[in-house]
Amino acid sequence: MSEREAARVAFLRRVGWGDAERISLGEDASTRRYERLKRGDNIAIFMDAPPAAEGKPCGPDATEHDRVLAGWNARTRLAACRVDAFVGVGQFLNKLNLSAPEVYVFDVEEGFAILEDLGDGIFARELEKGADERTLYLAAIDCLAEVHNQQAPTEVKAEEWVWPIQSYDRLAMSTGADLFPKWYPALDSTVKFNGSLARDFAEVSEALCEHLALLPQVFMLRDYHAENLVWLPERDGLAKVGILDFQDAVRGPAAWDIAMFVQDARRDVSPQVQMDVVRRYLDRTGMSETMFARDLAIAGAINALRILGVFARLITRDNKPRYGAFLQREWHHLLSCLRDPVLEDLYFVLSRAVPEMGRS
């Protein structure tokens, strides 16, 4: 038995779940892992988020220099494996009558939590089985609009623990975009960022990130898409949508969450549903259609560069070739965003670095 498994067993015994059947649900894209616990008629989810598995997040007083030295989580303001972030954000969402998993018990220092089991109705799986896409997506965008219509908190609480909700600033966004020139050439040798071209990319992308960082801030969930939502048709109103994987919430531009939602890396969202979702969001929030369209194109492009870089890194460094199946769809998202005139400079730089774009 590994040291970590021994810690899992000890925690489960301590909180009264030691005799439960444990069914692995695997790992997500982070270092967290999940198990379904069954004990008679009682069912729960066991979340294992080992604190030592990732670099530490940054504190609210960290300077940019501090964050650069501290590493990825600090630069991008990710919560890493902090259970208090998950608990605090989930409680905030539930106070809005949304459906985040209730947390029955947790241990921040060890990185464990026992959660409410929202079931297997993941949006992506329900859609594969024939659920109506428009119904699910409009229900989900109503929930997101409800979150964005609230004043973004500067902190959330989990018992005695206080977790800061920080700004998704220029450094955080540009660090993600920089993954593209850093990792994509390792996947495709025809893509090159040498000398002045790398500097041009940095200049253009950072200016776009600065624009996004200066927009009005909402409570941005950051990873809102069909793999992180659960359909709960037996519940009422906004509670029909279960929300997962929200511990990395920050204060940031609303367009980022919408881009993540409708420009999904793992499934195609029909063009009509995309339009309906944006229209519904604008109706619910009162945002300007013209300005939001501009910001959605910028956020979508920066996010697509980040995701393409992440996938390239997963394939080349981490030997996870399955992510290659998502590349074509993510390229489509990027090229769609680049049609907006506000991204003319970014398109020009990328077309010099990516031969296929230059020939299109």
Q: How many Å is the Cα radius of gyration of the chain?
A: 21
In the structure, what pLDDT confidence band is assigned to residue 27 with cuts at 50, 70 and 90?
low
pLDDT(189) > 90: yes
Kindly list the domain boundaries of the chain, sorted by start residue: 3-358
Instruction: Give me the pLDDT at residue 297, please.
Output: 98
User: Is 126 in contact with 231 (CB distance < 8 Å)?
Assistant: yes
> Which tens digit of pLDDT belongs to each residue from 245-301?
999 999 999 999 999 999 999 999 999 999 999 999 999 999 999 999 999 999 999
Whole-prediction pTM? 0.94
Give mean pLDDT, residues 192-213: 96
Rounded to a whole number of angstroms, the distance between the first and last alpha carbons of the chain is: 55
Instruction: Give me the pLDDT at residue 52, please.
Output: 80
CATH of 3-358, one of 2.60.40.10, 3.90.1200.10, 1.10.10.60, 3.40.50.300: 3.90.1200.10
pLDDT(358) > 70: no
User: Which has more confidence, 59 or 202?
Assistant: 202
**Euclidean distance between CA atoms 298 and 309, whole angstroms:** 17
Q: Could you tell me the two tokens for 84? A: 């208090």
Name the residue type at position 199: R
In the structure, what pLDDT confidence band is assigned to residue 206 with cuts at 50, 70 and 90?
very high
Give mean pLDDT, residues 210-227: 97
User: Is 101 in contact with 115 (CB distance < 8 Å)?
Assistant: yes
Strands (E), 210-297: 217-220, 229-231, 241-243, 250-253
129: left (phi over 0), alpha (psi -120 to 50) or beta: alpha
Nearest C-alpha neighbor of 62 from the set 50, 70, 54 = 70
**H helix or E strand, kind and range, residue 204:** helix 196-213
Mean pLDDT of the chain: 95
In the structure, what pLDDT confidence band is assigned to residue 28 with cuts at 50, 70 and 90?
low
> Which tens digit of pLDDT belongs to each residue from 138-149?
999 999 999 999
